[in-house]
Amino acid sequence: MFESLSEKIQGSIQQLSKKGRISEADIKQTLRDVRLALLEADVSYKVVKDFTRRVGERAAGADVARSLTPAQTIIKIVNEELVALLGEPARLDLSGTPPIVLMLVGLQGSGKTTMAAKLAVHLRKNGQHPLLVAADTYRPAAIQQLETLGRQIDVRVHSEGDRVSPPQICDHAVKRARREGFTVVILDTAGRLQVDDRMMAELAEIRRRVDPREVLLVVDAMTGQEAVSVADAFNQRVDISGLLLTKVDGDARGGAALSVRSVTGVPIKFMGVGEKPSDLEAFYPDRLASRILGMGDVLSLIERAETAISEDQARDMEAKLRTASFTLEDFIEQLAMVRKMGPISDILGMIPGMGQAAKSLPQDETEKSMVTTEAIIQSMTPQERRTPRIINASRKRRIAAGSGTSVQQVNQLPRQFSQMQKMFKQMQRGGKRGRGMSMPWLG
């Protein structure tokens, strides 16, 4: 998401950076480019108009034309206005006496059921004891889907089939949670293909019965401008308290995220960034704005690393790097850790200055290369992994046959590994240590 928007805005601002001094006409041209980029990203016209007006007023007021670093001044203004557009960071309200009820609403196909499971995983990591509630009795297999997800993530699911009304199911689930000590109840309510009175009446009845702490609208990031009218309709009828964006990892243009928050005034709280139950990120406007402008997102990268790599693993890896005892066995462990963090292009995009490299990186080829590397290392003996220099011609032929690769591919691995060892020795001499730095794939 935002890839095209990011590329166009960065390209426009980079044109300014090539000029020592810029004129008022240069600023106007940049604003036109930014306006066009936002409209192409499916951002609401009113939101775009207000945004570019504010940037233009601030650019003129900041006397950008006479600034020593005009491009940086423009970037600073655009970044601050993007953060303002995306709103203040907001977390779930879990205050009060348990069980706390979280009610998920949205259209059919927006990803409510999967998001419910992701929220359950997130809350459990933070010390909560969640109960999932299958309150969608209309969509075929919705109850079975939530029960399957519950088994996968080891979270209890309350379901009563499709013969009991959703308001009754939710009421029974909250009473059960109170009896059995669950701290959070997550209601997976029914959606429709479009907003209708029957759906809204049912949601209003559920809200009346269980008094949820949060009513969270699940918005498909790929729906574009339709998301704005949907969010507005739900907000008017059931008074939503937060937004959850799904399918952010897809090819959505990003307009929904920028528009919905501005039009409804309701904060975005989480983003679904993948298909796995753990693929959920808290929404930070400043981090997303930095990504759009190619400034990286180091904090999110660190959080991903902390999720994929334990403290013990990080300390052990750092010690091996410091003593030059890092082997191919360690390397394959690191590859597995990196793959847990998500696609390489996403990770590179979070590193300041690496945004362009991330865009030029062929994602399929990169993943294929990692799989090939793992296959080659797994076809080696433990001794060969520890001491790659003993791999002679006959060993290479055996490894190639075992991994389904060529001798040429096997030849490349020891050379690359040797270069990485040298790189990490230089990093250690330079004092660049710490968790998250022991990442050979960055070489």
Structural domains of the chain, ranges and CATH numbers in brackets: 3-86 (1.20.120.140), 100-285 (3.40.50.300), 300-442 (1.10.260.30)
Count CA atoms closer than 13 A to 327's CA, side-chain side.
Answer: 14
**Quick one: DSSP state of residue 434?**
S
Q: How would you classify residue 243: left for phi > 0, otherwise alpha for psi between -120 and 50, otherwise beta?
A: beta
Question: What's the pLDDT at 168?
Answer: 95
| Amino acid identity, position 118 | K
Tens of pLDDT, residue by residue over 158-205, are 999 888 899 999 999 999 999 999 999 999 998 877 778 888 899 999
Q: CA–CA separation, 224 vs 255, rounded Å?
A: 6
* Other CB atoms within 10 A of residue 422 CB: 12
* Other CB atoms within 10 A of residue 310 CB: 12
Is residue 385 a contact partner of residue 377, using CB atoms and an 8 Å limit? yes
Question: What's the pLDDT at 332?
Answer: 74
* Other CB atoms within 10 A of residue 359 CB: 15
Question: What's the pLDDT at 246?
Answer: 85
Is residue 205 a contact partner of residue 181, using CB atoms and an 8 Å limit? no
Q: CA–CA separation, 440 vs 92, rounded Å?
A: 36
Q: Where are the beta strands (DSSP E) in 106-225?
A: 130-135, 157-158, 184-189, 214-220
Residue with token string 């479009």: 194
Q: CA–CA separation, 17 vs 329, rounded Å?
A: 45
Question: What's the pLDDT at 297?
Answer: 47
Preceding omega of 99 cis (within 30 degrees of 0): yes
Question: What's the pLDDT at 350?
Answer: 55
Residue with token string 């060969």: 384
Q: How would you classify residue 254: left for phi > 0, otherwise alpha for psi between -120 and 50, otherwise beta?
A: left
Q: CA–CA separation, 112 vs 9, rounded Å?
A: 32
Question: What's the pLDDT at 194?
Answer: 73
Q: CA–CA separation, 186 vs 104, rounded Å?
A: 7
Count CA atoms closer than 13 A to 177's CA, side-chain side.
Answer: 30
Which residues of the chain fall below pLDDT 70? 1-6, 13, 16-22, 61-71, 224, 249-254, 256-257, 291-292, 294-326, 337-367, 415-443
Q: How far is CA 222 from CA 34, 249, 286, 352, in A?
A: 21, 10, 22, 27
How does the average pLDDT of the chain come out, rounded?
77
Q: CA–CA separation, 64 vs 69, rounded Å?
A: 8
Question: What's the pLDDT at 233?
Answer: 84
**Dmax over Cα atoms in the chain, in whole Å?**
75
Question: What's the pLDDT at 436?
Answer: 40
Question: What's the pLDDT at 291?
Answer: 66
